[in-house]
Structure 1
Amino acid sequence: MLVRDLMSTDVVTVGVDATLRDAAGKILAEHVGSVVVVDDGTPTGIVTESDALGAAHDRDQPLGEISVRDLAHPPLVTTGPDRTVQSVARTMADEGVKKVIVTEDLSVVGIVTLTDVVYHLADLRKEATAAATDIAERDWRTDD
């Protein structure tokens, strides 16, 4: 299964000059767990619900005075839409992230979350079993 088969294409973004209040407003209005920070359409970072809560807790400032530029997680983990979901899941585990931005030509085209991977786990297992069966049958035929 490829990333394009399960990615969400409705990616919520904010500009690099947005405030945390702007980002939190979009997170709440769109019912998402994060916003991708973009600079002229190019992703530069991500701000999650946890980032927003942490900044609200740790800083003695109104959210409208906190720039998302200061909170966005670099380096941003990205992938292309034609990569396998299994390899992206491995990248998530290796990088310790729950969200991977899908890009083409430096433009955001989607997002894959850990929830997306878990939701499609049965399909991924079925695909892996079918591939293993195909390999075993080919090996069996060539053993003759």
Structure 2
Amino acid sequence: MLVRDIMTRDVRLLAPHSTLREAARQMRDDNIGSLPVAEGDRLVGYVTDRDLVVRGLAEGFSGDTYIHDVMTDRVLYCFEDDDIEDVALNIAHNQVRRLPVLSREKRLVGIVALGDLATKAPDLSAEEALEGVSKLTR
């Protein structure tokens, strides 16, 4: 099974010049904890609710600060034609909960999350990924 078979295609995006306030509101309204940052359909970063707090508020930035000042610009990702077993191992190895999904032309086409592995993929994928991510809380 390939990532494209289980990924979420409807992805909310932020622009690098969106503000922390805009990001926080979008996360609140969509009940999500992270957002990819893109210029057009090119992935340039990723921001989490934790980034907003730890890199933003804790450092004294205001709600009007641009996302590019707090985002992670070294983003892990996978390709839509990757095998889900490989992606599950990658998620586990890197101890992340989700990965942006790119086309081979490096265009953002979706997100694959632990939840996708757990509900749409064979049990082994979710177990491997969850075991790796769970090491964070031990």
- Shorter-normalised TM range: 0.7 to 0.9
1:86 maps to which residue?
A: 85
Superimposed CA distance per residue, residues 24-60 of structure 1 (whole angstroms, 9 cap, x where no aligned partner): 1111122222111012321011111221232454122
**CA positional deviation for 1:83:** 0.8
1:47 maps to which residue?
A: 47
Give runs of aligned pairs for residues 1-144 of structure 1, distance below 5 A: 1-64=1-64, 66-104=65-103, 105-120=105-120, 123-125=121-123
| Pairwise CA RMSD | 2.0
2:128 maps to which residue?
A: none
The answer to whether the 8 A contact 2:14-2:36 is kept is yes
Identity %: 27
- Per the normalisation by structure 1, the TM-score is 0.76
Larger Rg: 1
Long gaps (5+) in structure 1: 128-144
**CA positional deviation for 1:96:** 2.5
- Per the normalisation by structure 2, the TM-score is 0.79
> Counterparts of 2:79 and 2:4 in 1: how far apart (Å)?
8
Deviant stretches of 4+, over 4 Å: none
